[in-house]
Structure 1
Amino acid sequence: MKFKFDHNNINVLDLEKSIKFYSDALGFKEERRKHADDDSFILAFLKDESSSHALELTWLRDRKEPYNLGDNEIHLAVRTDDFDAAYELHKKMGCICYENHKMGVYFIKDPDGYWTEILPMK
């Protein structure tokens, strides 16, 4: 029996704002979208250029308050082929929320407070 990652999901308050953030910050593009028959939710699936893994953004019509992310110990992680340029882009965007110079990584925060770790290619 084998398993393969397909997608991760996060819930967002402003779907279009989140899609723009992930596009601008990480180059993710919307691959597909699903609307609930009763319009109670929208799912948007974002992908990078090289893997089959997707990020599913869920927007719930009736949700008005920010999501409780607890201690925010869960995060996404991506690798980049140009770490220095990525750092400058994210610095300019003002979305860097934590840096670990000793480990050579940093984290960015999306509009809902979810963190993504930025790693150099090995």
Structure 2
Amino acid sequence: MKFRFNHNNFNILDLEKSLKFYQEALGLVEVKRFEPPSGDFILVYLGDGVTEHSLELTWLKERTKPYDLGENEFHVAFMVDDFEAAYERHKKMGCICYENKEMGIYFINDPDNYWLEIVPQK
């Protein structure tokens, strides 16, 4: 028996705002969508075009208040081949929320304040 990663999920408040952010910040594109006939929710799966792993964004129609992320001690990490260019893009976007220069990494936050770690390709 062998398990493999499939996807991670973030619940979001504004689907279009989140889709725009993930495209602009990380180059993620929609690879799959599920919308039930009731219209109560929408699931959008984003991919990087390289791996099979995806990020599922869940939008709930009735949700109006931000999600409680607790101390926000969880994150998803992305490896990038041009770390300096990525840093400059994210700096220009104003989404860098934490830097650890000693470790050579930084974090950005999405519109719902989920943290995303950016690590250089080694």
TM-score bin (small chain): over 0.9
Q: What RMSD, in angstroms, separates the aligned Cα atoms of the two structures?
A: 0.5
Output one character per residue of 1:65-115: Cα deviation in whole Å (capped at 9) or x when no partner.
Answer: 000000000100000000000000000000000000000000000000000
Relative to the length of structure 2, the TM-score reads: 0.99
**Structure 1 equivalent of residue 96 of structure 2:** 96
* Structure 1: tracts of 5 or more residues without a match: none
> How far apart in 1 are the matches of 2:90 and 2:48?
17
Count the aligned residue pairs: 122
The 5 A counterparts of 1:21-40 are 21-40=21-40
Displacement of 1:24: 0.2
Displacement of 1:37: 2.1
* Structure 2: tracts of 5 or more residues without a match: none
The 5 A counterparts of 1:1-122 are 1-122=1-122
Displacement of 1:45: 0.4
Displacement of 1:49: 1.8
Identity %: 61
* Stretches (4+) displaced over 2 A: none
Q: Secondary structure at the match of 1:58?
A: strand
Task: Identify which range, 29-38 or 81-90, moves more after superposition.
Answer: 29-38
Give 1:101's aligned amino acid: K
